[in-house]
């Protein structure tokens, strides 16, 4: 995601280990510079990233969601984007939501009441973000209860060529968006397709 967004916006990559975040930034900078693209990247701890940002993307696996958020503070009033999908894998992939109904609703429960939580980017595979020679010709369903925050997230998505942001309703609807991802993974597995995505027409 940093590869796609940093030519347009200042991006701060956070990690529990600051050195890991800084290494990630250097790798991204090298890739983009080889393509003649300028970028705005910085690496730091997760908490420092939150302190310096107005918009936060929780690009972490579901199993680390609670432990990560419990360590952090200062998210009051910020736009918080969750692309997190709770998935269980057996012979196929299935939606495995927490008691709150979705990862997005769990995030809302864990954060301060004035944090502006939106679900977005749930259905785009990580490999697609990295494949810079391939356009991201996908729809981005955006759920949220704060209309201004939702518009900001949709504008962020629209900054990436070919991405099509769509208003997918309130945050409570995020369960439908998150549940698409295990379906896409299962379709990919049984049809030998890589990084299946969606485009609504």
**CA distances, 20 to each of 49, 61, 123 (Å):** 13, 17, 26
Q: φ, ψ for residue 57 (rounded to 5)?
A: -105, 120
pLDDT profile of the chain (201 residues), mean per 10: 94 95 95 92 97 96 96 97 97 97 98 98 95 94 98 97 97 98 97 94 89
Residue 113: the pLDDT is: 97
- Whether the model clears a pTM of 0.85, i.e. scores above it, the answer is yes
Residue 89: the pLDDT is: 95
Q: How far apart are CA 151 and CA 157, in angstroms?
A: 10
Domains along the chain?
A: 1-53 (no CATH), 57-201 (3.40.50.720)
């Amino acid at each position: 995601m940093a590869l796609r967004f940093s030519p347009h916006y200042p991006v701060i990559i956070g990690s529990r280990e600051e050195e890991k975040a800084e290494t990630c930034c250097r790798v991204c900078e090298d890739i983009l510079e080889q393509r003649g693209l300028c970028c705005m990247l910085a690496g730091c701890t997760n908490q420092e990233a939150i302190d310096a940002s107005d918009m936060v993307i929780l690009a972490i696996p579901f199993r680390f969601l609670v432990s990560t958020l419990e360590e952090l503070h200062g998210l009051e009033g910020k736009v918080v984007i969750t692309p997190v999908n709770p998935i269980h894998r057996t012979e196929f992939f299935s939606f495995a939501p927490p008691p709150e109904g979705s990862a997005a609703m769990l995030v809302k429960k864990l954060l301060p009441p004035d944090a502006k939580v939106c679900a977005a980017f749930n259905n785009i595979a990580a490999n697609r973000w990295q494949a810079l020679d391939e356009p991201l010709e996908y729809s981005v369903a955006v759920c949220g209860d704060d209309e201004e925050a939702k518009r900001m997230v949709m504008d962020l998505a629209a900054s990436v060529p070919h991405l099509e942001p769509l208003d997918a309703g309130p945050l409570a609807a995020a369960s439908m968006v998150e549940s698409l991802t295990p379906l896409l993974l299962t379709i990919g597995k049984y049809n030998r397709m890589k990084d299946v995505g969606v485009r609504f027409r």
